[in-house]
Amino acid sequence: MSRYFVTVARGLENIAAGELSAIGSTQTQCVPGGVYFEGDQSTLYKAHLWMRTGNRIFLPLRDFPARNPDELYEGIIKFRWETFLTGKKTFAIDCTISGQHNPDLNHSQYAKLRVKDAIVDRLREKTGGRPDVDVENPDISISVYIRDGHCTLNMDATGGSLHERGYRSPDAAAPLKETLAAGLIALTEWDGKTPFIDPMCGSGTLPIEATLKAANLAPGLLRDSFSFMNWPDYFEPRWKELKEEALSKVISVSPGQIFGFDQNASALSAAKESMKLARISEGKIEFARRRFEEFVLPEGLQPGVLIVNPPYGERLGDVEELKVLYKLMGDTFKQKLKGWRAYIFTGNLELAKHVGLKASRRFELYNGAIDCRLLKYELY
């Protein structure tokens, strides 16, 4: 058994812990921005296959005092780097320093250099070799976190963040992170069977994540490589077996249930391109160019979930125009969506007041550094 740590957008820790319990992790502990979890190698592989909200998974290796560059060097050189950096494997170091009490160690670039020296010196002594640094595409990613004179050394099991599912069209403009979109959908408690509408879908992240969920498609199936595949204990037969098992669990999604509308034609082309890259077949999501001002429910739909991530407005002029749009959302929900649950995800709490309906729940979330809310409206 090992103890791992997965990073998530703040506000999604409980959702992430639920996902980890569903794949068999018995111990989970939420902290702001992440979840510690326990499990064996299969748990780690399943987390990479099945988690929809996690961004990066780490294996914590050591904790030690690092009040100055020498203590940092001593702590790093003690780790058995020769077991990870075998053969011609390359590595990269990510170093973060925070807190107040690191007077002799307050530049992350310098700290990174000391970490690199310690790793190289250890390997030179133990193997006579010297590994290469590759910042773009390393085999082994090392994460060093120094806070208040204390260092936590982690091995990054994931490599590129899990939000990079592999379906993003290069033409998408300012999309939601896939992992955040999946978390928002989880917060709506949408069951994957009733209708789902995003009336301002942009590049389609919410409808695509909804379809992956409805199809019970493990998002890790869309990606070919993770850093743990370069670890000395990587057991490919087990990974393949878990992938096969995940493939056998995919179910068919009925057409005419999931919709994405937007006024912007190029955003919709990016959405359709992303849908193909996500291997979602034509017709499973109905994308159409439509202004919200002309919103009508597709005919014959039972009530379901509508979720919208409207513009937040960066300039003052935008904000004035957007007040009208936010008011229109409230009016439309009230008049046209009886029996539905509607959700607005916004980073502008002032604009949210113009919706004019009382939210029955407010979820606090962070989109990067932006303080956001997911607002729930129950429309009786």
Least CB distance to ligand SAM at residue 345 (A): 8
Q: Which of 15, 105, 325, 329 binds ligand SAM (CB under 6 A)?
A: 325
How many chain residues touch ligand SAM (CB under 6 A)? 20
Q: Where are the alpha helices (DSSP H) in 130-235?
A: 178-188, 205-214
Q: Which of 44, 176, 307, 375 binds ligand SAM (CB under 6 A)?
A: 176
Sign of the CA dihedral with 362 first, then 216, 212, and 289 last? negative
Interface map 180-209 toward ligand SAM (x if CB under 6 A)? --------------------xxxx-xx---
Residue closer to ligand SAM, measured from CB, 85 or 200: 200
Q: Which of 34, 159, 304, 311 binds ligand SAM (CB under 6 A)?
A: 311
Q: Which of 34, 175, 220, 260 binds ligand SAM (CB under 6 A)?
A: 175
210 binds ligand SAM (CB under 6 A): no
Least CB distance to ligand SAM at residue 287 (A): 12
Q: Which of 86, 264, 269, 332 binds ligand SAM (CB under 6 A)?
A: 264
Residue closer to ligand SAM, measured from CB, 105 or 201: 201
Least CB distance to ligand SAM at residue 15 (A): 18
Considering only the stretches 38-46, 100-108, 169-177, 231-239, report the one whose residues sit in contact with ligand SAM under the rule CB under 6 A: 169-177
Q: What are phi and psi of 214, to 5 degrees?
A: -60, -35
E strand intervals along 99-238: 140-147, 150-156, 196-198
Q: Residue for token digits 């007041």? A: 353
CA dihedral 178, 184, 189, 195 (to 10 degrees): -70
Considering only the stretches 35-43, 76-84, 212-220, 262-270, report the one whose residues sit in contact with ligand SAM under the rule CB under 6 A: 262-270
Residue closer to ligand SAM, measured from CB, 71 or 198: 198
Q: Which helix (H) or strand (E) holds 84?
A: helix 81-84
Least CB distance to ligand SAM at residue 208 (A): 9
Q: Which helix (H) or strand (E) holds 333?
A: helix 316-336
189: left (phi over 0), alpha (psi -120 to 50) or beta: left
Least CB distance to ligand SAM at residue 18 (A): 23
Q: Residue for token digits 């743990």? A: 228
Distance of alpha carbon 223 from alpha carbon 201, whole angstroms: 24
347 binds ligand SAM (CB under 6 A): no
Q: Which of 306, 211, 182, 277 is nearest to 269 (CA)?
A: 277
Retrieve residue 379's tokens: 């429309």
Q: Which of 108, 161, 263, 269 binds ligand SAM (CB under 6 A)?
A: 263
Retrieve residue 195's tokens: 């209708």
56: left (phi over 0), alpha (psi -120 to 50) or beta: beta
Site for ligand SAM in 65-124 (CB under 6 A): none
What separation in angstroms does the CA of 92 have from each of 54, 85, 114, 274?
Answer: 21, 11, 13, 30
Residue closer to ligand SAM, measured from CB, 195 or 204: 204
Q: Which helix (H) or strand (E) holds 366?
A: strand 361-367
291 binds ligand SAM (CB under 6 A): yes
Binding site for ligand SAM (CB under 6 A): 172, 175-176, 200-203, 205-206, 262-264, 267, 291-293, 309-311, 325
